[in-house]
Amino acid sequence: MLFIILTACQKDNKTIVFSEVNILNEDTAVIEINMPKAEAEEEIASKINRKLNDFVSDALHIETEKQKKETIEESIQAFKDAYRNFNTLISEELENELPVWEALIDGEVIYNKENIICIAMNASINTGAANTSMVFRFLNFNPKTGDLLTNKDLLTNEVEFTALVEKYYTEKTNTSYINKDTFSLPNALGFTEDGVIILYDNFNLGAFEKEIIEFTIPYSEVNDYLKI
């Protein structure tokens, strides 16, 4: 009995532990970052954390004509510099300062198992435009290697799974896809205890609306299509 209990505990302990990074920088612009950080074997943790950091750097990369920074610290400074330079230019022309730019970036481990880790990342960037820029991503990792998993790595039959998702999409929105001939999966799937999350940004679908489309398909319907 003791051996069985110890074995079960060992299996439970194979999941990767995460700490949390919290950054609040209100010098020049307002930048708040709350995201997980993998605490694991150096190579595995390095791969996971690099992808999470890349998401932050991409979100803070405003001046597209310049090269994206590699680290979060450099990206924060570049975001503040971009605001400072733009504000100086505009204030000289309009004799009025711009509202302070804001960047809010959040991340959360929503699924952490022996065979997959799913982290939901989102960024809200406000640079004074009419609409705030919103970015949502699911990042799925192989806990044994730290490698980022694609849909092809996760699905046994992408065609049949896509058909199932399209069915749910139609039921959820009460409409067909904007272009039925090109219905496709989102770039990444989300995983929770309840099932697989499908999340679409309507702007990317061509609907030009602010809302996103999100629904969960229970594992009882998708297990046959998953490799994990």
Domain count, the chain: 2
Looking up residue 223, the CATH number of its domain turns out to be 3.90.640
More confident residue, 8 or 124: 124
pLDDT in tens, 69-117: 999 999 999 999 999 988 888 766 666 667 899 999 999 999 999 999 9
- Of 105, 122, 149, the last residue of a domain is 149
The mean pLDDT value of the chain amounts to: 87
Same domain? For 72 and 50 the reply is yes
If asked whether residues 145 and 160 sit together in one domain, one would say no
- What confidence tier does 123 reach under pLDDT thresholds 50, 70, 90? very high
Mean pLDDT for the stretch of residues 34-62 = 97
Residue span of the structural domain in which 183 resides: 150-228
The answer to whether residues 184 and 210 belong to one domain is yes
**Based on the domain organization, do 61 and 6 belong to the same domain?**
yes
Angle at 179 between CA 173 and CA 185, to 5 degrees: 70
Average pLDDT for 32-59: 97
Q: How confident is the model at residue 181 (pLDDT cuts 50, 70, 90)?
A: low
Reported confidence tier of residue 212, pLDDT bands at 50, 70, 90: confident
Whether residues 213 and 164 share a domain: the answer is yes
